[in-house]
A = this chain, B = another copy of it.
Amino acid sequence: MSGIHADDQPLTLSGERFTAVYHLSGVATAIQARQRAQDICLEQTVEFPDELIPHAAIREQIVGQLAALEPLDQDRWEAVIRYPVEVAGRELTQLVNCLFGNSSIQPGIRLVRFDLSERLAQFYRGPRFGQAGLRDRLGVRHRPLLCTAVKPMGLRPRALADLAYRLALGGIDLIKDDHGLADQVFCPFDERVTHCAAAVDRANRETGGHTLYVPNVTAPAPEITRRARFARAAGAGGLLFCPGLAGLDALRALADDDTLDLPILSHPAFQGSFTLDPRSGVAHGCLYGQLNRLAGADATIFPSYGGRFAFSPEDCRAIVDGAVRPMGHFRPIFPVPAGGMRLERVPELVDCYGRDCMLLIGGDLHRGDDLVKNCRMLLETVTAAAGRSQD
């Protein structure tokens, strides 16, 4: 390579780095493991053959550094790679790109967790409420929170509002839109949100409760803000958002918006493909836990083991860990096990997830004739189970 870039200013980066941990699968030897880890160091930064890198300073200051490499089992290795904070810039889009952009396309590489350094973490506010803030809003201290959805799609706004009213009468803490409710002609967003927020408000006045209505504001970018502001003005108490559909950074923008000041539930729609293959993609705890938390979700919905999806108890524990374990200034958030949860499983779920979770029970509440009674029974069951698990 000729000295054509000799007039370039020298790089003088801070030297501070953040950490990503990958699991490499299908690795036959230690030498192969090291080669694949080194390839990630290049792929996620310069995307350039090592021998063609024009300056030593780029190799030293830009390229990822392999900090540790350990065997996990016969053909899997754990690689810890440290990237310069400056490579990730000040933007979530580029941070995610640096963590796993091109490596998402390689088989046998799974991003399992990351640790931001202080300098990098400062660019992210994270959850505005977290567990403590959301408990404050609801006035619920010592039991799991209860969440359900107004559904099914096809009901008109007034019918959904009628459901919301009865769910709130029954004492559910958070009543969210089903995530398929967007802005369809048979159920326009503004009309639905107006009616449902008013219905929940009416129930709260009757019961003295603090139920929050949480409409779905997943939408094209400019519409997200409009709908969120409309929802707030109409009396919504939180926002539902699908970062898999609209982007993790759009979630971040929603959480950072001081004019909204509403807790956010994130929903996993269109994110599932990241976690299904254990040899590639992003680990459950990293995606549903860390990344959603970094982006500002106050609660992260995921399909619990034992429902109609196929997550294992171990997957679910990893999500809880990503949601609550120490992560700089980022508040712990609620794990929200969901996906076909049945009422009779509530004691088991409380045993498993403890008091600091939010249980999302959907269709099963609608069995029988008396929705309000079903909700009250659910609340009693959860309160009793949490009392038991308090010891």
A residues neighboring B (CB under 8 Å): 1-2, 4-5, 7-9, 11, 13, 39, 44-49, 52-55, 57-58, 61-62, 86-87, 89-94, 96-98, 100-107, 149, 151-156, 158-159, 162, 178-180, 182-186, 218-223, 242, 244-247, 249-250, 252-253, 268-277, 280-282, 303, 308-310, 339, 362-364, 366-367, 369
Known: A62-B153, A91-B183. 16 other contacts (CB 8 A): A1-B366, A13-B186, A45-B180, A46-B151, A47-B180, A48-B363, A58-B154, A87-B184, A94-B180, A101-B242, A106-B310, A221-B221, A245-B249, A272-B280, A276-B277, A276-B281
Q: Which residue of B lies closest to A4 (CB)?
A: B162
A281 to B280, CA, bound (A): 12
Known A62-B153, A247-B245; contact A96-B8, beta-carbon cutoff 8 A: no
A97: contacting residue among B54, B96, B218, B309, CB under 8 A: B218
Known A152-B54, A221-B247; contact A273-B269, beta-carbon cutoff 8 A: no
Known A101-B242, A310-B107; contact A159-B270, beta-carbon cutoff 8 A: no
Question: Which B residues touch A92, using CB under 8 A?
Answer: 220
Question: Which B residues touch A268, using CB under 8 A?
Answer: 105
Mind listing 13 A-B residue pairs with CB under 8 Å?
A5-B155, A7-B159, A49-B363, A52-B152, A58-B152, A58-B153, A89-B182, A91-B183, A94-B183, A98-B180, A100-B270, A104-B244, A273-B274
- Each complex incorporates copies of this chain amounting to 2
- A97 with B179: CB separation less than 8 A: yes
Query: 6 closest A-B pairs (Cβ-Cβ)?
Result: A105-B272, A247-B247, A101-B269, A58-B154, A104-B272, A46-B152
Question: Which B residues touch A303, using CB under 8 A?
Answer: 105
- B218 with A152: CB separation less than 8 A: no
Question: Which B residues touch A309, using CB under 8 A?
Answer: 105-106
A52: contacting residue among B13, B46, B366, CB under 8 A: B366
A171 to B91, CA, bound (A): 34
A273: contacting residue among B45, B282, B339, CB under 8 A: B282
Q: Which residue of B lies closest to A60 (CB)?
A: B154
- B152 with A97: CB separation less than 8 A: no
A8 to B160, CA, bound (A): 10
A186: contacting residue among B11, B155, B179, CB under 8 A: B11
- A219 with B93: CB separation less than 8 A: yes
A223 to B92, CA, bound (A): 12
Q: Which residue of B lies closest to A366 (CB)?
A: B52
A252 to B221, CA, bound (A): 10
Known A46-B154, A152-B58, A154-B11; contact A221-B250, beta-carbon cutoff 8 A: yes
A62 to B178, CA, bound (A): 14
A57: contacting residue among B154, B158, B178, CB under 8 A: B154
A96 to chain B, nearest CB (A): 6
Of A9, A11, A49, the most chain B CB neighbours within 10 A belong to: A49
A217 to chain B, nearest CB (A): 10
A242 to B100, CA, bound (A): 13
- B366 with A8: CB separation less than 8 A: no
A292 to chain B, nearest CB (A): 14
Known A182-B97, A276-B277; contact A58-B155, beta-carbon cutoff 8 A: yes
- B11 with A93: CB separation less than 8 A: no
- A183 with B90: CB separation less than 8 A: yes
A100 to B180, CA, bound (A): 11
A235 to B262, CA, bound (A): 41
A312 to chain B, nearest CB (A): 11
Question: Which B residues touch A89, using CB under 8 A?
Answer: 182-185
